[in-house]
Structure 1
Amino acid sequence: MLSVAEHFLEQQVYPMALDDMINNLKKISTPVRTNNRDMRLNSINSSITTKAISWWSPLACSIALDAVKTVQFEEDDQKEVDIKKYAKVGKIPGGIIEDSCVLCGVVINKDVTHSRIQCYIKNPHIVLLDSSLEYKKGESQTDIEIIEEEGFTQILQIEEEYIQQFCEDIIHMKPNVVITEKGISDLAQHSLTQANITATLRVWKTYNNRITRACGAWIVSRPEELREDDVGTRAGLLEIKKIGD
């Protein structure tokens, strides 16, 4: 109908049939109640049945509806829809189409620092850092002259004490999980593992920001400045598992 009407619109003919079209559309249309999930799924299915994914239409419709609910945020009688802030499409090689789902949380494609850490933690307490947990290297080239054998041992001891102090500041907050955007030394990994803390390193800044909104934590630059309010406690579950390859 629109393609036929376009020819007359180009000739500047007044669209007199518009009112009749609207009235007919109202007669044949069906009002959709937003609180009726089955009715909304039927509406989505009408557009999916003509696509290649129609074979998995029940799954695709459910994912589409759940994704729309995820990006809608209501506060103080105001509705906000933001597809960049509240949702992200993640593609993981391997598996089957039926493995696809809408996850109400944050997915990070990172491995843990130690094989003996916890992989399933309910109600975790999370600390987010944008600093490294390793000995700080000099910005310019530094030469150290060691005259006696004890000098080398003393340098290693200073480095260990420096890292150990970082770890003690973190352990004092009693977190279950530590996520940093930088590196973690072997000594720091050992100390955190001994305290039963799961650690993940070199996480992108964008992911750290998403985790902040998910668990209520604050990103801290210096471990010695950690406070109880900086620890995120709103997350319901932290799970580490392998998907595909």
Structure 2
Amino acid sequence: MEEEYIENLCMQILKFEPDLVITEKGFSDLACHFFSKAGVSAITELLKHVAQSESDVGTWAGLFEVKKIRDEFFAFIVECRDPKACTVLLRGASKDLLKN
């Protein structure tokens, strides 16, 4: 029953033909399978950083990309049609310097 429930939820989401699905919590492995099979990228534990309320969630994001900066990975949503937020990435001292 759990597998059918997860598949039903994923199929309801996929009806909207998204390119990217972002959640505040995690995905089950089965949900990841369904999204991957449909060619949809999925990223977890990011929604609270993207939108504070349902009305903030947009549908016209441009490019989603993941970049590695030093030893950390960052997700970027850029080229949005009507952006309502921005990210300021500040670079501080390296971990090695901070240990000294």
Structure-2-length-normalised TM-score: 0.62
State the one-letter code of the partner of 1:239: E
Cα deviation for residue 182 of structure 1 reads: 0.9
**In the alignment, which residue of structure 2 is the partner of 1:242?**
68
Q: Distance in 1 between matches of 2:43 and 2:15?
A: 18
Number of matched residues? 69
**Local SS of the residue matching 1:242:** strand
SS for the counterpart of 2:5 is helix
Match of 2:19 in 1: 176
Task: Kindly state the Cα deviation for residue 183 of structure 1 after the two structures are TM-superposed.
Answer: 1.3
Other-structure match for 1:200 = 43
Report whether the alignment pairs 1:167 with 2:10: yes
Identity rate, percent = 43
The answer to whether the aligner puts 1:209 opposite 2:35 as a matched pair is no
Structure with higher strand content: 2
Task: Give the 5 Å matches for 1:32-181.
Answer: 158-181=1-24
Aligned CA distance change for structure 1 residues 204 and 179 (closer, same or farther; 3 Å):
closer
Please give the alpha-carbon distance, in whole angstroms, between the structure 2 residues aligned to 1:242 and 1:160: 34
Contact in 1 for aligned 2:19/2:41 (Cα 8 Å) = yes
2: CA distance between counterparts of 1:181 and 1:240? 17
Deviations 1:77-107 (A, max 9, x none): xxxxxxxxxxxxxxxxxxxxxxxxxxxxxxx
**Compared with structure 1, are the counterparts of its residues 194 and 236 closer, same or farther at alpha carbon in structure 2 (3 Å cutoff)?**
same
Structure whose residues are more often helix by fraction:
1
Instruction: Answer whether contact 2:22 2:47 (CA < 8 A) is retained.
Output: no
C-alpha separation in 2, matches of 1:173 and 1:161? 19
Q: Distance in 2 between matches of 1:194 and 1:181?
A: 22
